[in-house]
Structure 1
Amino acid sequence: MLDIQSKIKELVETNDVVLFMKGTPEFPQCGFSSTVVQILNHLGVKCLGINILEDQDMRQGIKDYTNWPTLPQLYIKGEFIGGCDIVKEMFQAGELQTMLAEKQIV
């Protein structure tokens, strides 16, 4: 069985957009996760949502993987983008849309 770091690495490298979040994209369970999902939905971006509330190893593992203490965490084409505040700022500045276009996601 894969250790949690290998599992995370595989998830972010084999999916275009991955969101480690509280809840699911269909039912976010915190305001920050909900905000990121709303931004992605607005841009027409489908993401793989990983509900860290269901898996304590994943919850701690993703924090260790990025050395980033908070959730949600957004990955695009294997690259860690950031949490809610960073995603929101990038969206408002148009940077997120540019990145998604450059990576041929939208």
Structure 2
Amino acid sequence: MSDDAQARIDELVKANHVLLFMKGTPLFPQCGFSSRAISILDHLGADYETVDVLQDQGIRQGIKEYSDWPTIPQLYVNGEFVGGSDIMMEMYEAGELHTLFAGKGAAQAG
């Protein structure tokens, strides 16, 4: 991976409280996993930003190396890698994702 892509990813992760690297956009997700991740974030009322990896091949490949995680989407909260859509779903169902967001000031209390 290029140092440039690594630096851009690092900057994005650190600049946003909640950041989802996904395929597509929140309105038009390009895969089922990205769609599910957006649904979870929306249901939690999270304030989040997204990066469409399909728009930048460097980021698409680089994010997998950055997190050492092979799939997209990838969720970051306050600079920390949380996981992909399966982990998000497990955490959501267990109530852990809401607690994580509430603890980080990233979601509205509900």
Q: What is the TM-score of this pair, normalised by structure 1?
A: 0.96
Amino acid at match of 1:33: S
Identity between Structure 1 and Structure 2 (%) = 57
- Tell me which stretches of 4 or more aligned residues in structure 1 moved more than 2 Å: none
- Whole-Å separation in 1 of the counterparts to 2:47 and 2:23: 17
Name the structure 1 match of 2:58. Answer: 57
Q: Deviations over 1:7-41 (max 9, x none)?
A: 11110111011100000112111000000100000
Unaligned runs of 5+ in 2: none
Verify: 1:96 aligned to 2:97, yes or no: yes
Separation of aligned partners in 2, 1:48 and 1:64? 20
Aligned residues: 105
Q: Which amino acid aligns with 1:59?
A: R
TM-score using structure 2 length: 0.92
Q: How does 1:19-58 map to 2 (within 5 A)?
A: 19-58=20-59
CA distance in 1, matches of 2:55, 2:65: 17
SS at match of 1:74: strand
RMSD: 1.0
Task: Determine the structure 1 residue equivalent to 2:84.
Answer: 83
